[in-house]
Structure 1
Amino acid sequence: MAERHVLGISGGKDSAALAVFVRHHHPEIDVEYFFTDTGKELPEVYEFLGRLEGFLGKPILRLNPQRDFDFWLREYNHFLPSAQTRWCTRQLKLAPFEQWVRPMLAAGDTVVSYVAIRADEDYREGYTSKHKNLKVRLPFRESGIDKRCVMDILESSGVGIPKYYDWRSRSGCTFCFFQQKIEWVRLREQHPEAYEDAKTYEKNALEHGSPFTWTKGESLDELAKPERVQQIVEDFERRKQRELNRKPINPLRPIENIVDIDDLFGEDEGGGACVVCHK
Structure 2
Amino acid sequence: MSEHHVLGLSGGKDSAALAIFMRQKYPHLNIKYFFTDTGKELPEVYDFLAKLEGFLGKKIERLNSQRDFDFWLRQYGNFLPSPNTRWCTRQLKLLPFKNWVRPWLDSGDKVYSYVAIRSDEDHREGLISQHDNLIVKLPFREHGIDKPGVYDLLDASGVGMPKYYEWRSRSGCTFCFFQQKIEWARLRDRHPDEFEKAKAYEKTALDSGSPFTWTQGESLVELEQPERLAAIHADFEIRKQREYARIRINPLRPKVEHPLEIDDLYLEDEGGGACLICHK
State the TM-score, normalized to the length of structure 2. Answer: 0.96
Q: Which residue type is aligned with residue 14 of structure 2?
A: D
The alpha-carbon deviation at position 246 of structure 1 amounts to 2.0
Cα distance in structure 2, aligned partners of 1:95 and 1:202: 25
Contact residue 263 and residue 271 of structure 2 kept, 8 A? no
Shift in Å at residue 240 of structure 1? 0.8
Query: Counterpart of 1:69?
Result: 69
| 1:138 match | 138
Distance 1:200 1:68 in 2: 17
In structure 1, give the amino acid aligned to 2:260.
V
Report if aligned partners of 2:37, 2:64 keep a CA contact under 8 Å in 1.
Answer: yes
SS in 1 for 2:74: helix
> Secondary structure of the residue that 1:32 maps to in structure 2?
strand
**Counterparts of 2:62 and 2:196, CA distance in 1:** 27
The alignment-based identity, stated in percent, is 69
Residue 257 of structure 2 corresponds to 255
TM (normalized to structure 1)?
Answer: 0.96
Structure 1 position 230, deviation (Å): 0.3
Deviation at 1:24, TM superposition (A): 1.0
Q: Which amino acid aligns with 1:101?
A: V
Contact 1:236 1:266 in 2 (8 A): no
Output the amino acid matched with 2:40: K
Q: What residue number does 1:96 align with?
A: 96
Which residue is 2:115 aligned to?
115
Following the alignment from structure 2 to structure 1, what is the Cα–Cα distance between the partners of residues 79 and 53? 36
On the 8 A contact 2:93/2:277 being kept in 1, the answer is: yes
CA distance in 1, matches of 2:74, 2:223: 25
The letter for the 1-side match of 2:43 is P
The separation in 2 between residues aligned to 1:197 and 1:268, in whole angstroms, is 24
Native 8 Å contact 2:11 2:162 kept in 1: yes
Q: Distance in 2 between matches of 1:268 and 1:208?
A: 25
Q: Which residue of 1 aligns with 2:270?
A: 269
Shift of residue 254, structure 1, vs aligned partner = 3.9
Q: Which amino acid aligns with 1:19?
A: A
How far off its partner does 1:52 sit? Answer: 0.4
Counterpart residue number, 2:155: 155
User: Are the counterparts in 2 of residues 37 and 65 from structure 1 also a CA contact under 8 Å?
Assistant: no
2 CA distance for matches of 1:69 and 1:217? 23
Unaligned runs of 5+ in 2: none
CA–CA separation in structure 1 for the residues paired with 2:189 and 2:268: 23
Corresponding residue SS for 1:41: coil
Tell me the CA shift for residue 66 of structure 1: 3.1
Instruction: String of CA shifts for 1:99-136, please: whole Å, max 9, x gaps.
Output: 11111112221110001111111211211111111111
Match in the other structure for 1:208: 208
- Does 2:180 align with 1:170? no
| In 1, Cα distance between equivalents of 2:238 and 2:203 | 31
Q: Which amino acid letter does the alignment assign opposite residue 139 of structure 1?
A: P
1:221 aligns with 2:221: yes
In 1, the alpha carbon distance for the partners of 2:66 and 2:271 equals: 32
Contact 1:5 1:112 in 2 (8 A): yes
Return closer, same or farther for 1:22/1:267 CA change in 2, 3 Å cut-off: closer
> In structure 2, what is the Cα distance between the partners aligned to 1:268 and 1:99?
34
CA distance in 1, matches of 2:91, 2:49: 22
CA distance in structure 2 between the aligned counterparts of 1:267 and 1:130, rounded to whole angstroms: 31
- Does the 8 Å contact 1:111/1:135 carry over to 2? yes
1:79 aligns to what? 79
Q: Which amino acid aligns with 1:15?
A: S
Conserved 8 A contact 1:118-1:146: yes
What amino acid is the match of 1:229? L
Deviation at 1:60, TM superposition (A): 0.4
Give the superposition deviation at 1:267.
5.8
SS in structure 1 at match of 2:257: helix
* Secondary structure in structure 2 of the residue aligned to 1:132: coil
Report how many residues are paired.
278
CA RMSD of the aligned region, Å?
1.3
**Residues 4-55 of structure 1: CA distance to partner in whole angstroms, max 9, x if unpaired?**
1000000000000000111111111110000000000000000000110011
